[in-house]
């Protein structure tokens, strides 16, 4: 029914998939830019830490968050490991 399509005006939906694309891009680009500021060995360090923690607790690669922050005169190594809920409840 082409006639009805005109009135529905599907052609001008504001909520197309492009807005999802934009939101996802903003997140990934911000993440990758932060990563770029970090020294190359950080990824290797993250894997090492992951292996150590995994000896005791099952976690994923994403659960280890590691970065180096510049705070005035000193650099701070910031390490965050998110544990699954079950571990804490035990």
Partner 1 sequence: MDRFNRFNSGETTLTRIIVVTSGKGGVGKTTTSAALSMGLARAGHKTVVIDFDIGLRNLDIIMDCERRVVFDFVNVIQGDARLNQALIRDKRCELLSILPASQTRDKEALTREGVQAILEELSQDHEYIICDSPAGIEGGAMMAMYFADEAIVVTNPEVSSVRDSDRIIGLLQSKSRRAENNEPPIREHLLVTRYDPERVGRGDMLSIEDVEEILASPLIGVIPESESVLRASNQGIPVILDEDSRAGQAYVDVVARLTGEERPLRFTELERKGILQRMFGG
Residue numbers of the site for partner 1 (CB under 8 A)? 2-3, 5-6, 10-19, 21-22, 24-26, 28-29, 32-33, 36
Residues in the chain: 90
Of 77, 51, 76, whose CA–CA distance to 63 is shortest? 51
Nearer residue to partner 1 within complex by CB, 17 or 70: 17
Secondary element (H or E) of residue 24: helix 18-36
Nearer residue to partner 1 within complex by CB, 21 or 87: 21
Q: Give SS3 for 32.
A: helix
Shortest CB 10 distance to partner 1, Å: 8
Nearer residue to partner 1 within complex by CB, 12 or 55: 12
Q: Give SS3 for 38.
A: coil
Shortest CB 53 distance to partner 1, Å: 29
């Amino acid at each position: 029914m082409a006639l009805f399509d005109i009135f529905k005006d599907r052609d001008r939906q504001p909520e197309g998939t492009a807005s999802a694309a934009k939101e996802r891009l903003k997140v990934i680009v911000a993440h990758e830019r932060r990563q770029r500021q970090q020294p190359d060995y950080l990824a290797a360090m993250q894997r090492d830490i992951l292996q150590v923690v995994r000896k005791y607790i099952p976690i994923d690669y994403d659960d280890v968050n590691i970065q180096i922050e510049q705070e005035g005169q000193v650099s701070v190594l910031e390490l965050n490991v998110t544990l699954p809920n079950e571990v804490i409840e035990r």
